[in-house]
Amino acid sequence: MTHASVDVLVIGGGNAGLCAAIAARRAGASVHVVEAAPKFYRGGNTRHTRNMRCAHDSATEILSGPYTEAEFYEDLLRVTQGNTNEDLARLMIRESKDILNWIVDQGVRWQPSLGGTLSLGRTNSFFLGGGRAMLNALYLTAEKLGVTFAYDSEVVDLELEGGYCRAAIIKQPDGSQRIEAKAVVAAAGGFEANIDWLKEAWGPSAENFLIRGTPYNRGTLLKMLIDKGVAEVGDPTQCHAVAIDARAPKFDGGIITRLDCVVFGIVVNNRAERFYDEGEDIWPKRYAIWGRLVAQQPDQIAYILFDAPSLNLFMPSLFPPIEAPTIPALAEKLGLDSAGLEATVSAFNTAVRPGTFDDKVLDDCRTEGLTPPKSHWARKIETAPFYAYPVRPGITFTYLGVRVDGDARMQMADGKAAENLFAAGEIMAGNVLGRGYAAGIGMTIGSVFGRIAGREAASHARQ
Amino acid sequence: MHASDALTEADRLMTVCNSCRYCEGLCAVFPAMEMRRSFGDGDLNYLANLCHACGACYVDCQFSPPHEFNVNVPKTLAIVRAESWELYAWPGFLAGLFRRNGVAIALITAISVAAFLFLFMRAGDVAMVIPADAPASFYRIMPHNVMAGLFGGAFAFALLALVMSLRNFWLDIGEPVTTLAAPKPLWQAIRDASTLRYLDGGGVGCFNADERPDDRRRFYHHLTFYGFLLCFAATSVGTLYHYLLGREAPYPLWDLPVVLGTLGGVGLIVGPIGLARAKRQRLPDMVDKSRSGMDVAFILMLVLTSVSGLALLALRSTPAMSGLLALHLGIVFALFVTLPYSRFVHGLYRFAALVRYAREREVHR
């Protein structure tokens, strides 16, 4: 075992970790970042992100209008259904205004909202080149400032007692290292890639979940912190899940396996039965419930069915839809009961009322006398060829985290504040985001609390 | 089905990229891609020639290798691009010159230089002993009309071959001829090409093996391109002097053809050498190494043209003049006749692709 010491040790090299590292280094501390992934996969789920939600009082070059602190807070209350810590939430929103400029000073570049994301043009700033471009810029800035990095370096133990962390033990391909630190920032993400842990909450069905992001968010550090007396926050059984293409790889399929076509057709399970109102609300407001809905179906699989007129109404995705000239032929390709699928489709078609189709608003195309109903955008599925996408639950992130205060300082289960332990990013997101999600909030939490954690850790290291 | 493996791979990548779109702010390729849902060979050849190979999309991509999706847009488009140049070459039987391009161009140059030397020696025991500082001594070695005829012919051939190749490209991408006559896209493309707008990696420059992007390639390309234009201008002014004013070369050092040629010549030495160096510093994963011979050959031809021209200028009053003249004329002749089958064509197709892109942007707005 080799030995080293540093003022501030940052565990995790994503958005939150890098913001912490840069802030701590700018405050004068020596900083070392350990990243569990190999270099290419550095940065956890930040690699897959594309934007950040920040409050701003007026339009900017890339944002189409103001997004006030009050409006941001209302949006947060709505998506979390009140499951948030108001003080921390308001602090985050206040700081997000400045982060919009601070992050640019760290080399990150913005661009207007991407094609197909017009609904976010006012509230969210997009990274030019996406999340990995953002990460590359942060790494380059940190490196120029003198921050050091180690990849393939997983924390396997913490010398943590009574809220004071003396050192961390790091496992590396060529041996292990003990790093003493005056302060530690935990920014190592959630546990969504730890299938065994997911099974504790979901049972065996979690085996059939796909992980949309990094395979390295195994929650090792989170579990270690909780086991060593840090207070937890957020529901351990909850995760953010959407329905993604079932043909996606088990890990790291990212954005390109998402499907935005539920509202244009019907969704059936492997018994060829519908199970939820596909047209309940506009898609961005409902896409996050479908992961859970599919998870509750037999074998955790479902099929989105639609016909020719809908083919080009939504963003393309990685895999082409499965295509057939008739509904029974499609059923055969999907391995579903032909008669059953035909019955479901014809029952749906019979229930469709005439209306004027408009996918931009809650239109009047709906079913009548059907259970479950389809409340909007219901059009008969009758024009060949017919198409289907198989979908499975895709886990984006988990909610369980460590409790922090406004200085990003961890709180112990006994109610005391930790002495030199700070947290930022997904590992503490549950403080602000108790449930639900709104686009770009994860990155806001990462950058805002990362900067605070870095600043506070450096200040602690100086004392 | 696509005509080649590279096109098949490019189709796969564009499907991946079109479902992601994170790169749409980086350059022209991705917005052009977003205007389509499926990609035929012509579409892919268009996108490949639109790509400036800055590399930003490779280092920004969460799916680049070693990720299993194996997304390598710059390299794949580089291969498609080079293959497309063969496809468009006119006359078609000369397309093979693109393959083993370095060898081909070296051979043609050597033959051309040797031919000029041979011609000069035949023409003269007389010519070789003429005092070099005698007025119009170039043309005592080779009469002006012969020289103009020879190079006019070579230039006309190159021009014809380039125009016919461009026509093949334009037909392949399925763009109406009228687009080339529309003033707005043309003007937009001139602006984008003359500033190398899309060689800036989305703002920070090209991406290198050391992970520190910089703008060197754009800088050296400007030196090369504008150096080339200045040399061309020097020749044009010289021709006008000759026919309109009856003033014959060699011109005094302060005169326009010499000044333009010297400035351009310096650009054509520093630029290509800088480009060659910058090229070596690029991230190797995204470079199509199988065709580096073509790049080296073109860079070398530009440098040789310039070095031999400047040497001729410096030593035109010495006995070395006639030998240098043969060398310079041989190189320039070879440069001209190989132009349609060299790296030079990238500029032609890229400019045409930019015109089309500007037109598409208008329509889609």
Query: Nearest residue of A to residue B15 by CA position?
Result: A318
DSSP label of A27:
T
The answer to whether the CB atoms of B23 and A129 lie below 8 A apart is: yes
| B71 min Cα distance to partner chain A (Å) | 12
For A100-110, what is each residue's pLDDT tens digit? 999 999 999 99
Q: Which long-range contacts (CB under 8 A, 24 or more apart) does A417-420 make?
A: A417/A163, A418/A163, A418/A164, A418/A165, A418/A230, A419/A163, A419/A164, A419/A165, A419/A460, A420/A164, A420/A165, A420/A181, A420/A182, A420/A183, A420/A184, A420/A457, A420/A460, A420/A461
Residue B117 pLDDT > 90: no
Beta carbons within 8 Å of A345's beta carbon, 6+ residues apart: A266, A305, A327, A381
Residue B322 has pLDDT above 70, yes or no: yes
Q: Is the CB of A132 less than 8 angstroms away from the CB of B66?
A: no
CA distance A1 to chain B (A): 30
Alpha-carbon distance of A407 to A449, in angstroms, equals 8
3-state helix, strand, coil in chain A (%, to 5): 35, 25, 40
Q: Is the pLDDT confidence value at B126 over 50?
A: no
Nearest Cα residue in chain A from B16: A318
Q: Which chain B residues have a beta carbon less than 8 Å from that of A317?
A: 19
Is the pLDDT at B131 greater than 70? The verdict is no
Closest to B333 measured CA to CA, from B167, B177, B191, B148? B148
Least confident interval from A10-14, B248-252, B273-277, B331-335: B248-252
CB pairs under 8 A between A and B: 83
Q: From B36, which residue of chain A is nearest by alpha-carbon distance?
A: A316
pLDDT tens for residues A375-403?
Answer: 999 999 999 999 999 999 999 999 999 99
Closest CA–CA distance from residue A131 to any residue of chain B (Å): 8
Identify the closest residue of chain B to A47 by CA–CA distance: B62
Q: Residue B134: what pLDDT?
A: 53
B62 with A136: Cβ contact below 8 A = no
Closest chain A C-alpha to B70 CA, distance in angstroms: 12
DSSP B134: S
Class of domain A242-394: alpha beta
Residue A337 pLDDT = 97
What is residue B93's predicted lDDT score, i.e. its pLDDT?
Answer: 92
Domains A2-236+399-462 and A242-394 share a fold: no
Q: Kindly determine whether residue A136 and residue B60, on different chains, have CB atoms separated by under 8 Å.
A: yes
Mark yes or no for CB contact A128/B202 under 8 Å: yes
Task: Compute the average pLDDT of residues B265-285.
Answer: 95
Answer with the residue of higher pLDDT: B323 or A273. A273
A315 part of contact set with chain B, CB < 8 Å: yes
* Residue contact A133–B18, C-beta within 8 A: no
Predicted local distance difference test score (pLDDT) of residue A455: 98
Closest residue to A316, CB basis, from B31, B37, B211: B37
Q: Indicate the DSSP class of residue B130.
A: S
- Mean pLDDT on B121-126: 62
Q: Do B19 and A48 touch (CB under 8 A)?
A: no
Determine whether the interchain pair A129/B204 forms a contact, defined as Cβ–Cβ distance below 8 Å: no
Residues of chain A positioned with their CB less than 8 A from the CB of B15: 316, 318
Residues of A in contact with B59 (CB under 8 A): 132-133, 136
Select from A130, A140, A249 the Cβ nearest to the Cβ of B23: A130
Which chain A residue has its CA at the smallest distance from B59's CA?
A133
- Domain A2-236+399-462 sits in CATH at 3.50.50.60
User: What's the pLDDT tens digit per position in B222-252?
Assistant: 999 999 999 999 989 998 998 899 888 888 9
Tell me the chain A residues in contact with residue B26 when contact means C-beta distances shorter than 8 Å.
128-129
CA distance A126 to chain B (A): 9
Q: Which residues of B touch A (CB under 8 A)?
A: 15-16, 18-26, 31, 34, 37, 56-57, 59-63, 66-69, 202-204, 211-212
Residue of A nearest to B26 (CA): A129
CA distance B15 to chain A (A): 6
Distance of CA A391 to the CA centre of its chain: 18
A42/B contact by beta carbon, under 8 A? no
The predicted pLDDT at position B125 comes to: 47
Stretch B38-51: mean pLDDT: 97
Res B132 pLDDT > 70: no
Summarize pLDDT for A266-310 with one digit per residue, the tens: 999 999 999 999 999 988 778 889 999 999 999 999 999 999 999
Set of chain B residues whose Cβ sits within 8 Å of the Cβ of A315: 19
8 Å CB contact between A456 and A52? no
Summarize the confidence of residues B337-360 as an average pLDDT.
Answer: 96
Give the closest of A115, A132, A254 to B34, CB-based.
A115
Interface contact flag, B20 A133, Cβ < 8 Å = no
The interface residues of chain A toward chain B in range 241-280, judged by CB-CB distance below 8 A, are: 249, 252, 254-258
Q: Is A212 on the interface with B (CB under 8 A)?
A: no
Contact assignment for A111 to B34 by CB distance below 8 Å? no
Picking from A155, A159, A52, A67, the residue whose alpha carbon sits closest to that of residue A111 is A52
pLDDT tens, residue by residue, B139-176: 777 888 888 888 999 999 999 999 999 999 999 999 99
* End-to-end Cα separation, chain A, in angstroms: 29
State the pLDDT at residue B129: 47
* Helix, strand or coil, per DSSP, at residue B143: coil
Q: Are A294 and A302 in contact (CB under 8 A)?
A: yes
Q: What percent of chain B has pLDDT over 70?
A: 96
Q: What is the pLDDT of residue B298?
A: 94
Residue A64 identity: S
CA–CA separation, A284 and A292 (whole Å)? 16
Identify the pLDDT of residue A287. Answer: 85
Q: Which two tokens stand for residue A160?
A: 């943590």
Check if the beta carbon of residue A377 is closer than 8 Å to that of residue A363: yes
The alpha-carbon gap from A265 to the nearest alpha carbon of chain B, in Å, equals: 20
Q: Please identify which residue in the block is written with the tokens 């005829």.
A: B149
What residue spans define the domains of chain A?
2-236+399-462, 242-394
Q: How far apart are the first and last CA of chain B?
A: 31
Q: Is B310 helix (H, G, I), strand (E, B) or coil?
A: helix
Average pLDDT, chain B: 91
CA distance B161 to B167: 10
Predicted local confidence at residue A144, as pLDDT: 97
Instruction: Please report the pLDDT score of residue B249 as a whole number.
Output: 81
Closest residue on chain A to B61 (Cα): A132
Nearest-angstrom CA–CA distance, A130 and A47 = 8
Distance CA A306, CA A380 (A): 9
Are A440 and A93 a contacting pair, CB within 8 Å? no
Which residues of chain A carry a pLDDT beneath 50?
none
The minimum CA-CA distance between A274 and chain B, rounded to whole Å, is: 27
Whole-number Å distance between alpha carbons of A431 and B209:
41
Verify whether the Cβ–Cβ distance A129 to B21 is below 8 Å: no
**What residues of chain A lie within 8 A of the CB of B21, using their CB?**
114-116
- In chain A, the percentage of residues whose pLDDT exceeds 90 is 91
- In angstroms, what separates the C-alpha of A344 from chain B's closest C-alpha? 30
A431 contact partners, CB below 8 Å, separation of at least 6? A84, A85, A88, A233, A234, A401, A403, A404
Q: Cβ–Cβ of B59/A50 closer than 8 Å?
A: no
Q: What is the pLDDT of residues B54-89, one digit of tens each?
A: 999 999 999 999 999 999 999 999 999 999 999 999
ipTM for this prediction:
0.94
Inter-chain contact A130–B68, Cβ cutoff 8 Å? no
pLDDT of residue B227: 97
The answer to whether A118 contacts chain B (CB < 8 Å) is no
Asked whether the beta carbons of residue A129 and residue B19 sit closer than 8 angstroms, the reply is no
CA distance B328 to chain A (A): 46
CA distance A187 to A163: 17
Rounded to the nearest angstrom, the minimum Cα separation between A434 and chain B is 28
DSSP β-ladder status, A417-423 and A401-402: unpaired
Q: Do B60 and A130 touch (CB under 8 A)?
A: yes
A374 within 8 A of A266, measured Cβ to Cβ? yes
Return the residue in B54, B60, B67 with the most chain A beta carbons within 10 A, the one to mutate for interface testing: B60
User: Looking at beta carbons, which residues of chain B come within 8 Å of A40?
Assistant: 66-67
CB contact under 8 A, A40 and B16: no
